[in-house]
Amino acid sequence: MKKFVSVIIVVVTLVLCFSLSACGNKYVSRYNAMLMVRTNTSNKASVSFDSFSGTYVIKLKNNSADEVFIDYEGTLVDGNIKVYYDFNDEKLNLFDIETDGSVDGKTETFTGNKTIYIIIESDGKCNDGSFSFVLEKSI
């Protein structure tokens, strides 16, 4: 009986560990990078790298009920990168950037106190890139 109770406790503990560790990880960063510098606060984020391959996920948070948009900039010397955003459980293309490319723009307006995910995905190895994202209040 003692052994049975011990097995039950171990199984319950394992199930709880796996279920709790998966919470809040909607997207997962998996990448290889050299000389990568990144910053991330609730309303702005940036990443720059010498070389990058994989997926990097950024979380921005609208901490008020105000309408906001994302002001973004990016440059890439070599390679191909697709950048997506997710708001309200829908992954949408924000921009694509290729060799010797640059991009500067704004997203649609977001309303509500919610998390906005930015997903940077490379198509193979990329070199000398820099991206920044800032939540701005709509006027």
pLDDT, tens digit, 9 for 90 and up, residues 69-84: 899 999 999 999 999 9
Residue whose pair of structure tokens reads 């990568």 in the numeric block: 36
The rounded distance, in Å, linking the Cα atoms of 111 and 74 is: 24
Model pLDDT for residues 8-67, shown as the tens digit of each residue:
666 666 555 554 444 556 889 999 999 899 888 888 999 999 999 999 999 998 887 778
The values of phi and psi at residue 99, to 5°, are -50, 135
Structural domains of the chain ordered from first start? 27-137 (2.60.120.260)
Identify whether the C-beta of residue 80 lies closer than 8 Å to the C-beta of residue 124.
yes
The rounded distance, in Å, linking the Cα atoms of 139 and 131 is: 24
Amino acid symbol at 73: E
Model pLDDT for residues 110-133, shown as the tens digit of each residue:
777 688 899 999 999 999 999 999
Closest CA to 56 of 4, 7, 122, 112: 122
